[in-house]
Amino acid sequence: MRRQFVGSTGRWPLRWASLLAAVVLLTACAAPTPRDTGPAPEDAVVGDSPAASVTPDTGGTPPAALALAEQAATAQRTGDLSRAEQRLERALRIAPRDATLWNQMAAVRLDQGRYQQAERLAERSLRMPGGDRALELANWRLLLAAREALGDTAGAARAREQIRRLEAEIA
């Protein structure tokens, strides 16, 4: 025996199916845009660090990321490494392909004494396309400092050799 609801005209399944389709459609439209799920930013150096002389290439970097990078540089110069780290993490979420931001984060990690992270971030910055010799040199200087702090004499020697090569090319 089929159960009838009061006022039902036999269109009950069609109404529920339509309502369900509308809910599914609206839910799909309201889904947030996926974020970059790459590794979290680890390091950057500013101020008197090896990366301090790097001028960022602002070609494709959004203004918001550049403003955050400047705030991070100011915080690092004043010794507020936690604030510098937070600003750079936000900047990297906005512009994850900006090699200068990764270099700056590597410098902060070096200042924090997080040498392995500084090394990884400088290497990441080096792997990014761009061909900026000054940035490459700054990354190798960060790598040298991190490797010396870690006691990696062979790695430090390789970094010194790269620094000599780049300084000769730039001069």
Domain that holds residue 129: 63-170
71 in a structural domain: yes
Work out the number of other CB atoms within 10 angstroms of the CB of residue 113: 10
Q: Spell 49-80 as b/e; 16+ CB within 10 A means b.
A: bbbbebebeeeebeeebbebbebbbebbeeee
Q: Which residues contact 93 (CB under 8 A, 6 or more apart)?
A: 35, 36
pLDDT in tens, the chain (171 residues): 555 555 555 555 555 555 555 554 454 444 444 444 444 444 433 334 454 434 444 568 999 999 999 999 999 999 999 999 999 999 999 999 999 999 999 999 999 999 999 999 999 999 998 779 999 999 999 999 999 999 999 999 999 999 999 999 988
Does the CA dihedral 163-161-99-120 come out positive or negative? negative
Does the CA dihedral 72-74-77-80 come out positive or negative? negative
The dihedral region occupied by 61, where left means phi > 0, alpha psi between -120 and 50, and beta the remainder, is beta
83 in a structural domain: yes
19 in a structural domain: no
45 in a structural domain: no
38 in a structural domain: no
1 in a structural domain: no
145 in a structural domain: yes
Alpha-carbon span 122 to 116, nearest angstrom: 10
157 in a structural domain: yes
CATH code for the domain of 146: 1.25.40.10
User: How many structural domains comprise the chain?
Assistant: 1
